[in-house]
Amino acid sequence: MRMFATLGRSQAGEASAMMGTGSSLLAQRASALGGASAVNKGCSCCGRVACMGTCMPMRHLHAHPNPPSNPDQALEYLREGNKRFVNNKPHDAHPTRNLDRVKATAGGQKPFAAVLSCADSRVPVEIVFDQGFGDVFVTRVAGNIVTNEITASLEFGTAVLGSKVLMVLGHSACGAVAATMSGGAVPGVISSLYYSISPACKKVAAGDVDAAIAENVRVQMEQLKVSPVLQGLVKEGKLKIVGGVYDLATGKVNEIA
């Protein structure tokens, strides 16, 4: 919590500038993270991104030489990255996966995309999209479900850090969806996931796990759109919320309409 509070203090000042609709709500959350002064101040030396003592121009935080200027371009970067991954042709000596990049992003981050993914170990988001340090703001939870904590994290990644596309990413053979559909007994509190996934299962034919996985992505997308902060960014053309399903057998991300 200490680390997250530090981020809130140094970056919450960007919220008002990056937001229109829903900015007061975001300001309240930023204030809760970093104190009242966090809402009014950005970096003490550049006023833009988190510097933590070493001012770094925003352009240096982007991995790409030509950072996406709009949501459509940001989505295309994800598509291109996944295509490289599927074709087994990643960036040569990947420019954003080395120690130089680690050092370059130590003072702040400017991810062009945010992703809500399942926690499955076979879906490493940055690798799937052929991205590296500082490129993608990732939240992960079994079943890629939306919770208050997930929503808050994604509001931070988009409204404060500036991600221009937000993808809800499910995957084939998702155990959380399959378990919800079967309704079987599971240990501990695993069944608490059922509540968020069951609406999708009820919309498809019984036993059709693949359809439920895709529908669950749609349901979670709609849950995110309830957020006034995310909704405001979408209305202003600063954010696009999309969905996809990762195929464990091929590595391809198939977008969901």
115 occurs within a structural domain: yes
113-117/253-256 β-pairing: unpaired
Give tens-digit pLDDT for 148-201: 999 999 999 999 999 999 999 999 999 999 999 999 899 999 999 999 999 999
pLDDT band for 100, please (50, 70, 90 cuts).
Answer: confident
184 occurs within a structural domain: yes
220 occurs within a structural domain: yes
40 occurs within a structural domain: no
pTM of the model: 0.79
Q: Is 174 annotated as a binding residue?
A: yes
List, as one string, the DSSP characters of 176-221.
HHHHHHHT---STTGGGGHHHHHHHHHTS-TT-HHHHHHHHHHHHH
CA distance 5 to 35: 9
17 occurs within a structural domain: no
- Both tokens of 63, joined, read 């991995």
What is the domain count for the chain?
1
Q: Is 120 annotated as a binding residue?
A: yes
Give tens-digit pLDDT for 37-91: 344 344 433 344 443 333 444 445 555 667 899 999 999 999 999 999 999 998 7
18 occurs within a structural domain: no
**What pLDDT sits at residue 34?**
43
- Both tokens of 27, joined, read 């300001």
CATH number of the domain within which 180 lies = 3.40.1050.10
CA distance 149 to 132: 24
182 occurs within a structural domain: yes
Q: What is the mean pLDDT of the chain?
A: 83
36 occurs within a structural domain: no
Q: What domain range is 123 assigned to? A: 57-256
